[in-house]
Amino acid sequence: MKKNILVTGGAGFIGSHVVRLLVNEHPEYKIVNLDKLTYAGNLSNLNDIAGKPNYTFIKGDICDVTLISSVITTHDISHIIHLAAESHVDRSILNPLEFIQTNVLGTATLLDAAIKAWSGNMEEKLFYHISTDEVFGSLGSMGYFSETTPYNPHSPYSASKASSDHLVRAYHDTFGLPVVLSNCSNNFGSHQFPEKLIPLMIDHIRNNKPLPVYGKGENVRDWLWVEDHAKAISAVLHKGKNGHTYCIGGNNEWKNIDLVKTLCAVLDVKLERRPGTSEKLIAYVTDRPGHDARYAIDASKIQNELGWSPTPDFKWALEKTVDWYLANDAWLTEVTSGEYRKYYEAQYANR
């Protein structure tokens, strides 16, 4: 069936992969990408599909209720995939209110515009909210997050995402809005802003800069290749059950320090350095306040019910990612100029 899909935040890291997948795989759909183009949004992420007839870009803010209502009506939007967010934990510690504004008020604005535009006819409509496993808090050395794990967020980022998840469920329960949600683990891949661990380390290794590992580097993350996440999002969009949540993960846990050392070894080979050269750049720095110890997802619901599973070859996906950053020097230089420099100085100056 034809769908007119509004993707919010489609010029960002995950959003651009989702937009590319849907535009290429569904020429019969209309994909409208609405993005404010903050420091994290970059239209060049979508150069390869920008001219396709089933794709439209609109520069705009999800907090702008007049604009959102008009976009839903003008483009006869039937589905919303909501990815737009402030997404970096360290920034949420430096500036929490920006996260409340975009992640909480922005999501509320979208939900409200959706029920008003769709009032009286919720058939064939869907609000798909993209969330994070960070809403569940922090695990000890055992156990996994699943769809039934209670919420226990610790950072302003995760608290703002938890708040938006609750609003989505409240609009479902109160107003009958058809919704699905997914909570995903840490993503990596091409086009990720180099403030996040993997692209930051690749950039620093390549440029012989210190590799800032927080605390002892023992925190654990479950890493998922972004192209697997985009496929999972497509599976939930097409086959997810109204009102349900799906946890998405890579079944791929790494201690930060082990992952950083692996990246060093991969880059030693690619940059033709002697084995062990890049590891010498590792610099342990002051820990992140409230740093969650471990995230890990039990993804059996989406695997069993929707038939999705991640690529089993993490090393292959990691090497592909490293190759992309090495081949896209101009992209890295462009996104790390300007505003990013100010953030970088504030974040790493006194650690």
Which residue from 256, 278, 321, 336 is in contact with ligand TYD, where contact means CB under 6 A?
Answer: 256
Task: Name the DSSP class of 62.
Answer: T
Interaction partner, residue 55 (ligand NAD, ligand TYD, none; CB < 5-8 Å by kind):
none
The angle formed by the CA atoms of residues 320, 330 and 59, to the nearest 5 degrees, is 95
20 to 49, contacts with ligand TYD by CB under 6 A? none
Interaction partner, residue 26 (ligand NAD, ligand TYD, none; CB < 5-8 Å by kind):
none
3-class DSSP state of 147? coil
Q: Count residues contacting ligand NAD (CB under 6 A)?
A: 29
- Cα dihedral value 240, 241, 244, 248, nearest 10: -20
Q: Which is nearer to ligand TYD, 22 or 89 (CB)?
A: 89
Is 218 an annotated catalytic residue?
A: no
Q: Which is nearer to ligand NAD, 263 or 278 (CB)?
A: 263
Q: Which of 133, 165, 195, 292 is catalytic?
A: 133
98 to 137, contacts with ligand NAD by CB under 6 A? 102, 106, 130, 132
Residue 78, token pair as written in the block: 């039937």
3-class DSSP state of 297? strand
Is 133 an annotated catalytic residue?
A: yes
CB 186 to ligand NAD: min, Å: 5
CB 164 to ligand TYD: min, Å: 16
Q: Which is nearer to ligand NAD, 33 or 278 (CB)?
A: 33
CB 100 to ligand TYD: min, Å: 18
Under the criterion CB under 6 A, does residue 302 sit at the interface with ligand NAD? no
Those residues whose C-beta lies under 8 Å from the C-beta of residue 329, and which sit 6 or more positions away, are none
Which residue from 5, 6, 7, 12 is in contact with ligand NAD, where contact means CB under 6 A?
Answer: 12
Residue 131, token pair as written in the block: 């969330």
Identity of residue 76: D
Beta-strand relationship, 79-82 and 220-222:
unpaired
Identity of residue 192: Q
Task: Give me the 70-99 binding string for ligand TYD, x by CB under 6 A, dash otherwise.
Answer: -------------------x----------
Which residue from 180, 197, 306, 332 is in contact with ligand TYD, where contact means CB under 6 A?
Answer: 197
Q: Which of 128, 157, 214, 343 is catalytic?
A: 157
Is 48 an annotated catalytic residue?
A: no
Under the criterion CB under 6 A, does residue 109 sit at the interface with ligand TYD? no
Question: If we measure between CA atoms, which residue out of 3, 182, 168 comes closest to residue 79?
Answer: 3
Q: Which is nearer to ligand TYD, 111 or 259 (CB)?
A: 259
Q: Rounded to whole angstroms, how far apart are CA atoms 264 and 276?
A: 8
Q: Rounded to whole angstroms, how far apart are CA atoms 342 and 313?
A: 37
Task: Give me the 185-224 binding string for ligand NAD, x by CB under 6 A, dash otherwise.
Answer: -xx-----x-------------------------------
Under the criterion CB under 6 A, does residue 221 sit at the interface with ligand TYD? yes
Under the criterion CB under 6 A, does residue 325 sit at the interface with ligand NAD? no
Task: Name the DSSP class of 278.
Answer: G
Report whether 155 contacts 99 (CB < 8 A): no
Q: Tell me phi and psi for residue 285, to 5 degrees.
A: -125, 170
**Beta-bridge partners for 29:** none
Q: Give first-to-last CA distance, the chain, whole Å.
A: 53
Report whether 37 contacts 63 (CB < 8 A): no
Q: Rounded to whole angstroms, how far apart are CA atoms 295 and 74?
A: 41
**Beta-bridge partners for 127:** 80, 179
Q: Which of the stretches 72-80, 182-190, 267-275, 316-324 binds ligand NAD when contact is defined by CB under 6 A?
A: 182-190
- Annotated catalytic residues are 133-134, 157
Name the site residues for ligand NAD (rule: CB under 6 A): 8-9, 11-15, 35-38, 40-41, 61-63, 83-85, 87, 102, 106, 130, 132, 161, 184, 186-187, 193
